[in-house]
Amino acid sequence: MKTVGDKLEAFKVIGVKPGFNNHEENGVSAFEDITESSFPGKWKIIYFYPKDFTFVCPTEIVGFNNLAKDFEDRDAVLMGGSVDNEFCKLAWRRDHKDLDRLGHYQFSDTTGSLIDQLGIREKSAGVALRATFIVDPDNVIQHVSVNNLNVGRSPEEVLRILDGLQTDELCPCNRAAGGETL
């Protein structure tokens, strides 16, 4: 599994843009490729859930969505994904009232290339574990959290960790006597 200090390698997933419920609206596609080069200069909060249309997942997605503006205010792009395809994600948005016009990216990793690169595939079910990665603007992983399939996570805690990472250089407790970061 990739961990803190590792760099994201090349990847490509299909992103479902914020605010879309249909594959095309007003002549604009709901889909765009997301790669390691997307969102230059931004932090990335990449969270995974096992499958769309499951019981625990909407609670977490809504929790992250409620904080989408807070992540944006910190120059972070929020994106959650699973192995289900992009059309499934749009159908879930239309089907579940709390996911209607979701305000952050979802992504489809149907080949599992990003899941496998990060080492978070649950072996027997073949889906992503409930993993969260905070990646800095240089594509270096700064935080990793991985839960089993049935254990949710706290979006507020992810935001708190992002705040800590972004203020790390300012915190005197993280500096040695000579001023270098520990």
Structural domains counted in the chain: 1
Which positions ≥6 away from 48 have C-beta within 8 Å? 80, 81, 82, 115, 120, 128, 129, 130, 131, 132
Let me know if residue 171 belongs to a domain.
no
Contact predicate 153/145, CB 8 Å: yes
Let me know if residue 178 belongs to a domain.
no
Let me know if residue 173 belongs to a domain.
no
88 counts as catalytic: no
Let me know if residue 172 belongs to a domain.
no
Contact predicate 112/83, CB 8 Å: yes
Let me know if residue 74 belongs to a domain.
yes
The tally of CA atoms less than 13 A away on the side-chain side of residue 42 is 16
- pLDDT for the residue numbered 79: 98
Which residue type, as a one-letter code, is found at position 46? I
Going across the sheet that includes 130-135, the strands are 31-35, 12-16, 105-108, 76-82, 43-48, 130-135, 141-147
Sign of the alpha-carbon torsion through 74, 67, 141, 40: negative
Let me know if residue 154 belongs to a domain.
yes
pTM across the whole model: 0.91
pLDDT tens, residue by residue, 98-124: 999 999 999 999 999 999 999 999 999
pLDDT tens, residue by residue, 21-77: 999 999 999 999 999 999 999 999 999 999 999 877 789 999 999 999 999 999 999
**Residue 161 sits in a domain of what CATH number?**
3.40.30.10
Let me know if residue 149 belongs to a domain.
yes
Could you say which of 57, 88, 171, 173 is catalytic?
57
What mean pLDDT comes out for the span 4-30? 97
Print the domain residue range for 67: 6-166
Which residue type, as a one-letter code, is found at position 131? A
Let me know if residue 181 belongs to a domain.
no
